[in-house]
Every structure is written in C-alpha cells, then in structure tokens.
Amino acid sequence: MEAIVGVRAPPRGRAWAGLEKPPRAACRARVPTARLAVAADRPRRLVLLGADTRRAADPALRCAAQSAGTGKVHYSADDALILQQKAQDVLPYLDGRCVYLVGMMGSGKTTVGKILSEVLGYSFFDSDKLVEKAVGISSVAEIFQLHSETFFRDNESEVLTDLSSMHRLVVATGGGAVIRPINWSYMKKGLTVWLDVPLDALARRIAAVGTASRPLLHQESGDPYAKAYAKLTSLFEQRMDSYANADARVSLEHIALKQGHNDVTILTPSTIAIEALLKMESFLTEKTMVRN
C-alpha cells in the first residue's frame, strides 16, 4: 500500500502554532522553527507545523538547531564569521528558494545542511526522515525490508514534490534521490548542491558508524570498509551523471587542493559549508548576469 505523503506550510502569521511550547525567549525573534507531525485527520499525511518561512536570516543565531530538531552545530569563531558573511552574500540571490543537498550516502548532507540552514536562517529537513514519518516506520532500513526499495522511492518522490512548494528550507536528500528524473523537476525549483566526496573517504566514514542503517550497503559479514567501498563504487558509477545535474558542485578534493594538500579527511563540516556558500553564490550570480 502506498502512503500519502505531504508537507504544508502554516498560514502566514501563525508561526508558532504547531509548537507544544514556544522556543526559548532568546531565540524567539529570529529562529525559523519547524516541527513535523502526522495530521490527525489524515493519518499518513505529514504536516509542517510552525515553520516561519518569512523570517530574514540572522546568521548570528545559535538557537536554530535547538528549535528545528536539527541538533547542535559547532564551529570556530573564525568560521562562524566567514559563514555569516557568505550567507549574507548569498541570501538576496537565493530569494527564499530551497537548497537541496545531493550526494552519496555519508557525504555530509545532513552535517553540512544543518550548518547551512543555521547561517541562512532556513529550516532544515532530512528527506529520509520525512519518508520515515510519512510511512510510519522509524528507519529507512526497515522500510526497505518490510516493503521494497520501490516503495521507499515512491514515497521519497512524494516528499520531494511536497517540499518543492515550500520556501526557505535546506533539505538533505536521500543519496539515491537523484536517480529519478522526476525528482529533479521538484528539486530544480530550488538550488541543488552536490557534495562530491571521494569514495575512499565515504567508505571510511560509513565503516566507522556501521552499515546497518544503510540498506544498500549492508552486509552481514566481511570487512566493513572493503564492502562499503565496493558497493559505493558501483553505485557511484551508476549515479555520477545524475549528481552532475546539480547547480553547484562542492568537491572536497578541490577544497583540499586550494588549501595546498590532498587530505580530504581533515576538512571540517564548516569549511565545506563555506565552500558550498561560495559555489552557490557563483552559480546564482552567473545566472543573474545571464538574465540581465
């Protein structure tokens, strides 16, 4: 059975309507806050409650993570300053459009996406989590197991179409969201950013946390790094042209080279988020120049 999945924005002026309690006073004035729930009248329909999609970005805020269920994001004061400046440069060009992060499993879409959402003053969503909520099953691995990959992909497309009618979101998409052309028609309503991470680094990250939550990589036996690397290689071969559809590409190899080394493992999420903002700005300013 296919689930109906949807996300809708609250009416204007009712920013906190869906919150069980308002955010801390210190955050209230500035933080874009969102919460997802399953609507009582439509049990399988997701509703975005309390998202204030109108708010201007305030990159100085540090409370956003607490209020949108995004988790805490830490970075140095120097990085914070650069992130704030770059976010201010990008925001007028972005003009409220959503940012969709695409990339292989483990490429840092969630980690970097949370930083971007914080500095842009946008709300953060992870499309895998939205699918889990919509289907009512708490893990992607279980959805694959109890239903099928196709069932998961259908729901993923539903989530993306719903998100595409919204504004001021940073969305970490599932690693395979790029394989369906229809998903690009949804994501292209916003700005798409590819986090391009070498497969060796991906396999190391994934092996460090285990493959149980990643059904396409999971193997009961064998060396987790070797297995993950082999599977990631074949998936990447199938998908690299799709990832290349993204408006902006953030290559960790390029960042490392710019820094004068080739060790991508020492690049922090905030460094990668800064590069993402630079690439977004380049894409958006070039597009504006072409239009004029």
Ligand X SMILES: Nc1ncnc2c1ncn2[C@@H]1O[C@H](COP(=O)(O)OP(=O)(O)OP(=O)(O)O)[C@@H](O)[C@H]1O
Task: Enumerate binding residues for ligand X (CB under 6 A).
Answer: 103, 105-111, 128, 172, 175, 205, 209, 214, 267-269, 272
The CA-atom distances, in angstroms, between 44 and each of 38, 77, 243 are 6, 43, 30
Q: How far is the CB of 177 from ligand X (least distance, A)?
A: 9
Q: How far is the CB of 217 from ligand X (least distance, A)?
A: 9
- Residue 272 binding partner per list ligand SKM, ligand X, none, with a CB distance cut-off of 5 to 8 Å that depends on partner kind: ligand X
Among 154, 156, 168, 146, CA closest to 57 = 168
Residue number, 8 or 254, with CB nearest to ligand X = 254
- Residue 267 binding partner per list ligand X, ligand SKM, none, with a CB distance cut-off of 5 to 8 Å that depends on partner kind: ligand X
DSSP element (H, E) containing 206: helix 199-209
Residue number, 174 or 269, with CB nearest to ligand SKM = 174
The CA-atom distances, in angstroms, between 211 and each of 20, 149, 204, 238 are 35, 17, 11, 20
- Residue 216 binding partner per list ligand SKM, ligand X, none, with a CB distance cut-off of 5 to 8 Å that depends on partner kind: ligand SKM
DSSP state letters, 99-143: EEEE-STTSSHHHHHHHHHHHHT-EEEEHHHHHHHHHT-S-HHHH
- Residue 173 contacts residue 187 (beta carbons within 8 Å): yes
- Residue 231 contacts residue 216 (beta carbons within 8 Å): yes
Q: How far is the CB of 235 from ligand SKM (least distance, A)?
A: 6
- Residue 111 binding partner per list ligand SKM, ligand X, none, with a CB distance cut-off of 5 to 8 Å that depends on partner kind: ligand X
Residue number, 107 or 157, with CB nearest to ligand X = 107
CB neighbours of 202 closer than 8 A, spacing ≥ 6? 104, 105, 106, 107, 228, 232
Q: How far is the CB of 218 from ligand X (least distance, A)?
A: 12
Q: How far is the CB of 103 from ligand SKM (least distance, A)?
A: 9
- Residue 228 contacts residue 203 (beta carbons within 8 Å): yes
Residue number, 88 or 139, with CB nearest to ligand X = 139
Residue number, 107 or 164, with CB nearest to ligand X = 107
User: Residues interacting with ligand SKM, by CB under 6 A?
Assistant: 105, 128, 140, 174-176, 214-216
- Pull the structure tokens for residue 4: 């109906």
